Structure 1
Amino acid sequence: MPVLVLRPERAARRTVEGLAALGLEAIVSPVLAIETLDTPIPPGPYDAVLATSANGLRKLNGRPEIRELSRAPLMAVGDRTAEAGREAGFANVEVADGDGRSLAAAVVARFGTPGRFLHAAGADRAFDLQAALRPHGHKVEVVDLYRAAPASTLTPEAEEALRRGAVIAVLHHSRRIAETFLSLSGDAGLAEAVRTAPHAALALRVAEPLLAAGCADVAVAERPDEPALFDALARLIGTRSQSGGERSK
Structure 2
Amino acid sequence: MKILVLRPERAARRTAEALSRLGFEAVLAPVLTIEDLASPIPDGPFDAVLATSANGLRKLKERPEIAALSRAPLIAVGDRTAEAGREAGFSTVHVAEGDGRALVDEAAARFPAPARFLHAAGANRAFDVAGALAARGHATTVVELYRATAATELPEAARWALETGALGAALHHSGRIAETFVALSVEAGFAEIVKNLPHATLAPRIAQALERAGCRRIAIARRPDETALIEALQSLVA
Q: TM-score per shorter chain, which class?
A: over 0.9
Where does residue 17 of structure 1 map in the other structure? Answer: 17
Query: SS state of the match for residue 20, structure 1?
Result: helix
C-alpha deviation, 1:160, in angstroms: 2.1
Match of 1:170, as an amino acid? A
Where does residue 246 of structure 1 map in the other structure? Answer: none
Match of 1:214, as an amino acid? G
- In structure 1, what is the Cα distance between the partners aligned to 2:169 and 2:12? 15
Task: Answer with 55-64 or 153-162: which moved more.
Answer: 153-162
Identity between Structure 1 and Structure 2 (%):
63
Matched, 1:83 2:88: no
**Where does 1:45-56 land on structure 2 (aligned, <5 Å)?**
45-56=45-56
Structure 2 unaligned residues grouped into runs of 5+: none
Contact 1:30/1:154 (<8 A) preserved: no
Where does residue 185 of structure 1 map in the other structure? Answer: 185
- In structure 1, what is the Cα distance between the partners aligned to 2:113 and 2:8? 38
C-alpha distance after superposition, 1:10-63 (max 9, x if no partner): 000000000000000111000000000001111111000000000000000011
Match of 1:207, as an amino acid? A
Match of 2:49, as an amino acid? V
Where does residue 110 of structure 2 map in the other structure? Answer: 110
Match of 2:52, as an amino acid? T
- In structure 1, what is the Cα distance between the partners aligned to 2:133 and 2:113? 12
* Deviation >6 Å, runs of 4+: none
TM-score relative to the length of structure 2: 0.98
Query: SS state of the match for residue 26, structure 1?
Result: strand
Where does residue 225 of structure 1 map in the other structure? Answer: 225
- In structure 2, what is the Cα distance between the partners aligned to 1:63 and 1:183? 35
Match of 1:139, as an amino acid? A
Structure 1 unaligned residues grouped into runs of 5+: 239-249
- In structure 1, what is the Cα distance between the partners aligned to 2:228 and 2:37? 31
Match of 1:193, as an amino acid? I
Query: SS state of the match for residue 200, structure 2?
Result: strand
Where does residue 119 of structure 1 map in the other structure? Answer: 119
C-alpha distance after superposition, 1:46-89 (max 9, x if no partner): 00000000000000001111111011110101110011001110
Query: SS state of the match for residue 168, structure 1?
Result: strand
Task: Answer with 161-170 or 218-227: which moved more.
Answer: 161-170
- In structure 2, what is the Cα distance between the partners aligned to 1:218 and 1:113? 41
Query: SS state of the match for residue 43, structure 2?
Result: coil
**Where does 1:152-191 land on structure 2 (aligned, <5 Å)?**
152-191=152-191
Where does residue 196 of structure 2 map in the other structure? Answer: 196
Query: SS state of the match for residue 114, structure 1?
Result: coil
C-alpha deviation, 1:112, in angstroms: 1.7
- Equivalenced residues, count: 238
- In structure 2, what is the Cα distance between the partners aligned to 1:88 and 1:107? 20
C-alpha deviation, 1:116, in angstroms: 0.5
- In structure 1, what is the Cα distance between the partners aligned to 2:61 and 2:85? 8
C-alpha deviation, 1:151, in angstroms: 1.4
